[in-house]
Amino acid sequence: MKRLRLERWSGQLLTARSIPARTRPCCLRQQQQAALPPRIRFSSSAAMLSDDLILEDGEELEEESSPSDTKYPSPPLEAAFNSSKLAALHARLNLSPKLPLQTMARTLVDPSADSNADFNNAALSSLGGSIMSYHVSEWLLCTYPRLPMTVLFAASYAYSGPKTLQLVGKEWGVETAAAPGEEVDPGHLQFSKLKPGQALQSQGGSIRPDSKSYYRRGMSSRVVYDDEFGDTVSKQAEHDVPLPTEHAYASFVKAVVGSVYLHSGSAAAKTFVKNHILSRYLQIASLFQFREPVRELSRLCAREGFEYPVARILSETGRRSRHPVYVVGIFSGKDKLGEGAGPSLGEARTRACVHALKAWYLYSPGANVRVPSDMEVAGAQEWEPVHIDMGEVIH
């Protein structure tokens, strides 16, 4: 895990110092190295200084200490102890003291700032991202078992998508550094920003085997091949390219979840996700967009064995006026499935169908239904199978 910077072994430095002097301690290794006096961790920079001071030529000294050559792309570990922003962030999130500040500092370094995997949050963020999407999706599936796949993707995007995670990160009070570098306060989010007008780097195609344009990208294949929001997963992209702010915030929030999992355990990570992500407000009913609700409702009734749905006027006013209102109910036999009001009979019937479909799809066994990860707690009650629906109407 030691970090070697072969490209920077210029001739003079190579002769002057041995290999360990060019290493940087990694934060997850920090606990083993904590016994060492801190001066040892400063050794590389101290050695660097003494080497530079031997030189008599001032110009050469300047060249040697130019930022691109001697500085690390992210702040050193020792800076984490001295950053009040970082300590305040740690306390603000009420994180356990088991989670050290060095890890906290590492969650704030994006791969676009420091490409070394030992010092950026890429690993933590992929761990935390999968934990977060697991808890979000199990909660969504158990709470709303009948959601159509598209709406499920949209709901999980609403809870754990990059836009939301950017909001979460900002609500935690994290600011971005103007540019990444060694001298940056470790309490800032460090990533290389997109310049105005700069196009997003193309991600180099997807990992789907059927990536040809003439293949249809259906819903069931998205479950298998695509990510948790139904988007294609890009091929291994370069980490050094600048990225939008929301992606940097998203990987930071995911990395915090990952570090909570690493240092405090899965129960703590679950509570963290529940408190910070699932407690947010979303009206899932507003995520639906129907194309042909009348037809879909009749197909649903046929599938479920209900009687054929019939629209009936419940009440109306001002039929001959400029703004009439019709209230139409959808009945299947004697059961009213839904009702809607609209300025024309067709509009009212469509709204009634949408209402009936939403009532069907948004069935919920209760907000505090048990989820599979509740069984991980010792002494949990026996698992009762949750409701599993056969899925949305396909026609």
Partner 1 sequence: MVVQGIRKATVGQNGVGAFILQCKRLDFHYCDWAGSSKGMNSFLRNSLTKFAALNPQVEITVSPRPRRHPVIRGTYINGREKAICVRNLTKEQVLQKAELLRDANGEKLRKVTKPVKSINESVRGVWSPYHDGGIHV
Partner 2 sequence: MLSRTIRRSILDSRIPTSALPPTFLLPNRARYFNSTVQHVDAPSESLDASLLATNTSAEAPETVAPVRRPIRPKVPLPPAPISSPMALDASVKEMLPLLAAQPSHYISAHIHAKPYLVTAGDTVRLPFHMPGVVPGDILRLNRASSLGSRDYTLKGTPYLDERVFECRARVMGTEAEPMRTKEKKKRRNRRINTVKSKHKFTILKIAEIKINSLEDIEGSGESV
Q: Given the rule CB under 8 A, which residues bind partner 1? A: 84-85, 87-88, 90-94, 148, 150-155, 157-159, 161, 163-164, 167-168, 170-173, 187, 218-219, 272, 274-276, 278-283, 286-292, 295-296, 314-315, 317, 325, 327, 341, 357, 361, 392-395
Residue 235: CB atoms within 10 A of its CB come to 12
Judged by beta carbon, residue 142 or residue 353, the one nearer partner 1 is 353
Q: Which is nearer to partner 2, 43 or 264 (CB)?
A: 264
Task: Return the range that interacts with partner 2 (CB under 8 A); candidates 34-42, 270-278, 319-327, 346-354.
Answer: 270-278
Judged by beta carbon, residue 44 or residue 137, the one nearer partner 1 is: 137
How buried is 112 (Cβ within 10 angstroms: 0-12 exposed, 13-18 middle, 19+ buried)?
A: buried
- The half-sphere exposure of 57 on its side-chain side, counting CA atoms within 13 A, is 4
For partner 2, the closer CB: 201 or 264: 264
User: At residue 373, what are phi and psi to the nearest 5 degrees?
Assistant: -75, -10
Type of residue numbered 202: S
Question: CB of residue 94 vs partner 2: minimum separation in angstroms?
Answer: 5
Question: From CA 86, how far away is CA 73, in angstroms rounded?
Answer: 18
Question: Choosing among partner 1, partner 2, none, which partner's interface includes residue 152 (Cβ < 5 to 8 Å by kind)?
Answer: partner 1
Please tell me the count of residues contacting partner 2 according to CB under 8 A.
14
Piece in contact with partner 2 (CB under 8 A), picked from 113-121, 178-186, 321-329, 363-371: 363-371
Of 15, 66, 84, 94, the one binding partner 2 (CB under 8 A) is 94
Query: What stretch of H or E contains 312?
Result: strand 309-317
**Element containing residue 302 per DSSP (H, E):** helix 293-304
**CA distances in angstroms from 190 to 107, 160, 183, 219, listed in the order given:** 10, 21, 11, 36
Assign 3-class secondary structure to 58-93.
HHHHHHHCCHHHHCCCCCCCCHHHHCHHHHHHHHHC
Q: Which of 123, 149, 268, 369 binds partner 2 (CB under 8 A)?
A: 268
Length of the chain: 395
Task: Map tokens 């420091």 to a residue.
Answer: 114
Our CB check for partner 2 shows the closer of 77 and 141 to be 141
Residue 296 binding: pick among partner 1, partner 2, none (C-beta 5-8 Å cut-off by kind): partner 1
Sign (positive/negative) of CA torsion 302, 304, 308, 309? negative
The one of partner 2, partner 1, none whose footprint includes residue 23, by CB under 5 to 8 A per kind, is none
**Minimum separation from the CB atom of position 97 to partner 2 (A):** 8
> Residue 213 burial (CB < 10 Å; 0-12/13-18/19+)?
exposed
Neighbours of 206 (CB within 10 A): 16
Output 68 or 94, the one with its CB closest to partner 2. 94
CA distance 275 to 5: 41
In the complex, the smallest distance separating the C-beta of residue 72 from partner 1, rounded to whole angstroms, is 24
Look up tokens 């949305």; give the residue: 392
Part of the chain binding partner 2 (CB under 8 A), chosen from 112-120, 172-180, 198-206, 269-277? 269-277
Give the residue with the Cβ less far from partner 2, 61 or 285: 285
Count Cβ atoms below 10 Å from residue 272 Cβ, excluding itself: 23
Q: How far is the CB of 252 from partner 1 (least distance, A)?
A: 15
| Partner whose binding site includes residue 268, from partner 2, partner 1, none (CB under 5 to 8 Å by kind) | partner 2
Cβ 263 to partner 2, closest distance in Å?
A: 11
Does 271 bind partner 2 (CB under 8 A)? Our answer is: yes
CA–CA separation, 4 and 16 (whole Å):
16
Q: Residue 235: what residue type?
A: K
Q: What is the DSSP letter of 109?
A: B
Does 266 sit near partner 2 (CB under 8 A)? no
Q: Which is nearer to partner 2, 268 or 314 (CB)?
A: 268
User: Which residues of this chain interact with partner 2, rule CB under 8 A?
Assistant: 91, 94, 96, 264, 267-268, 271-272, 274-275, 281, 364, 366-367
